[in-house]
Amino acid sequence: MTLTKITPKALLCGLLLFSFSHVSHGQILKKLGKRAERAAERTVERRVDREVSKKTDQALDSILEPGSKGPGPVSNPPSERGEPNTPNPNNQEGTITSSTNMDAGNNDLKFYTNYDFVAGDRVLIYDDFSVDNIGDFPAKWNTNGSGEVVTLNNSPGKWMKLSDRTTYVPDIPEILPSDFTLEFDMITSGLDKKVSSTARLKILLDDNNSLKQGADYAEVSIPFAQYIDAGVYVNNHFNGQNTLRNYVKKDVRNDVLQLAHVAISVNGQRFRMWMNERKLVDLPRFIEPGLVKYVKFHLSNMPSETKEQFVFITNVKVAEGGEDLRSKLLKEGQFSTTGILFDSGSDKIKPESYGTLKKIADVLQQESESNIKIVGHTDADGSEATNLELSKQRAASVKNALSSDFGISENRLQTDGKGEAQPVGDNSTTAGKAKNRRVEFIKI
C-alpha cells in the first residue's frame, strides 16, 4: 500500500472504530449517575484524544519509516477514573527491582537527550511528605489557605493537594544562594477545555518567606488551560522596576495532563525552566542576585473542588549549585552527586538524570587519563543487605550508561556499593535521606 491510498480522514475513522469495537460508551453511561457520567465523558474524551494521537503516529511511522520501532517512552497518563497514576516516591529504598533490560534504560535516557538540567549537589530541602499524616497539612510548609497530604490510586507515595487562591511556602533553613536548583513532580486531574486561561501554578522566587509577595521577586507560572496555548508567564520586579514580562508560547497542555517533572536552575542572573525533557524558558538576565531568598507556590483561578479538578505536587527539592566537578576531581580526587535519580527500589535510571550524567561524562572525557570508581549509596529505609545490593546495582547502571550512552571506556570504570553504611545526612529526615541517596565518583 502506498501513502497516496490512505487519506487522513479514513485513517482516523478506522482508528476510532477500532478504539470502540469492544466497549459501548452508551452502555457504560447508563449505569452511572449524572456526576459520574460527566467524569466518565471527560475521561473518554481524553483517552480518545490520546489513543487517536498515539495510533495515528504509529500508523504514519509504519508507513513513512518502515524500520521504526514506534514511539519512545512517555509519562504515565491519567487513569480511567480520572485520577492520576502515581509512581512510588522518588528513590525510596527497600525492595530491589533490577533493571534486567539495560537497553530499555538507555532508550529512556536517549529520550531526554536535549535535557541539560543539572541538579545542585547540596540539598537544602527535600519533601516527599512521607512523614506527614494523610489528610493533614504538611508540617514543613506554611499557607494562607488549605491543602492536604493525600495518596493516589493506592500508591504508597504521598502528594500535597493544592487549593485555589492559596500560597504555599516551604521551610528552607537558609536563604537561597546565587546558584541553586528547584525540582518537583506535578500531576493534575479532571482538566478539560473549560479551564480558564488564567488557571496557573505560580513559582515565586521572593525576597521574604511571608505569605505576601515582596517588593523584589521573579515569577514563572504554568498554565492549565486546555482550549488554547495560554503561554508560560514570566515576570520580575527588582529595585522598583519591572525588566521582563512575557507569555512564552510553549504549549504544555499535554504535559500538564500527565506526570510532569518541573526543574528550575538559577545561576546568578540566568533563569531556566524545564518540564520533563523540554526547556520552556531560558532568560539570561531575569534574576537580581542577592534579592531572591525564598521559594513560594501559588495556585490561582482553578475551578472549585466540586468539579474534581485538582493539582498535586511532591518530591520538592531545593539544592545549592556546587563547585565545578572537574575542579573537585582534580583538587580532592572525588565528587558525589544526588542528581542521578532511580526508580523506587530499582537500578533503573530516571530520564531526568541525563543532564547530570552528561556533565559527568564531559569531566571524564576531559580527564581522559583518569580511571574512576563509581560508588552507590542509599538511605537507611529497608534492610542493610537489600540496600547494599541495591547500591551496587545502581553503580553498575551508572557505569553502563556512561559507557553505552556517552562513550566512556568500560576499562576506565570500576563499581562498588556501600548501601546505607556511609550516611552524610540524617536518615530520620526526608532531606537527610535525599542527601544519602547519592552516587560517588572516586579517582583511582
User: Can you give the pLDDT at residue 177?
Assistant: 94
SS3 state at 54: helix
Query: Average pLDDT, stretch 281-306?
Result: 91
Which residues touch 134 (CB under 8 Å, ≥6 apart)? Answer: 148, 149, 150, 151, 158
Structural domains in the chain, CATH included, are 3-64 (no CATH), 122-320 (2.60.120.200), 325-443 (3.30.1330.60)
- Whether residue 6 has pLDDT greater than 90: no
Please tell me the distance from the alpha carbon of residue 293 to that of residue 227, in angstroms, as a whole number.
Answer: 36
Q: What is the pLDDT of residues 14-36, one digit of tens each?
A: 544 444 444 444 443 344 444 44
- Whether residue 316 has pLDDT greater than 80: yes
Q: Give the pTM.
A: 0.68
Cell of residue 154, nine digits: 493506592
Of the pLDDT bands very low, low, confident and very high (cuts 50, 70, 90), residue 416 is very high
Lowest-confidence range among 107-111, 204-208, 254-258? 107-111
Which residues touch 30 (CB under 8 Å, ≥6 apart)? Answer: none
Query: Average pLDDT, stretch 53-70?
Result: 42
Q: What is the largest CA-CA distance in the chain?
A: 71
User: Can you give the pLDDT at residue 431?
Assistant: 87
Please tell me the distance from the alpha carbon of residue 429 to that of residue 320, in angstroms, as a whole number.
Answer: 18
Q: What is the pLDDT of residues 75-132, one digit of tens each?
A: 343 333 334 444 443 444 444 444 433 343 445 555 566 778 888 888 999 999 999 9
Q: In which element (H, E) is residue 314 found?
A: strand 310-320
Query: Average pLDDT, stretch 321-342?
Result: 81
SS3 state at 348: coil
- Whether residue 343 has pLDDT greater than 60: yes
User: Can you give the pLDDT at residue 99?
Assistant: 43
Helix, strand, coil percent content, the chain, rounded in steps of 5: 30, 30, 45
Lowest-confidence range among 64-68, 259-263, 388-392, 419-423? 64-68
Query: Average pLDDT, stretch 306-314?
Result: 88
Of the pLDDT bands very low, low, confident and very high (cuts 50, 70, 90), residue 154 is low
User: Can you give the pLDDT at residue 7?
Assistant: 52
User: Can you give the pLDDT at residue 29?
Assistant: 39
Of the pLDDT bands very low, low, confident and very high (cuts 50, 70, 90), residue 359 is confident
Q: What is the pLDDT of residues 422-431, one digit of tens each?
A: 999 999 888 8
Q: What is the pLDDT of residues 214-228, one digit of tens each?
A: 999 999 999 999 999
Please tell me the distance from the alpha carbon of residue 45 to that of residue 143, in angstroms, as a whole number.
Answer: 35
User: Can you give the pLDDT at residue 398?
Assistant: 95
User: Can you give the pLDDT at residue 269?
Assistant: 94
User: Can you give the pLDDT at residue 355?
Assistant: 85
Q: How long, in residues, is the chain?
A: 444
Q: How far apart are the first and last CA of the chain?
A: 59
> Which DSSP state fits 229?
-
Of the pLDDT bands very low, low, confident and very high (cuts 50, 70, 90), residue 330 is confident
Please tell me the distance from the alpha carbon of residue 7 to that of residue 153, in angstroms, as a whole number.
Answer: 40
Please tell me the distance from the alpha carbon of residue 68 to that of residue 70, in angstroms, as a whole number.
Answer: 5
For the chain, give the percent of residues with pLDDT over 70: 73
User: Can you give the pLDDT at residue 121?
Assistant: 83
pLDDT, averaged across the chain: 80
User: Can you give the pLDDT at residue 164?
Assistant: 93
Q: What is the pLDDT of residues 227-251, one digit of tens each?
A: 999 999 999 999 999 999 999 999 9
Distance from the Cα of residue 32 to its chain's centroid: 35
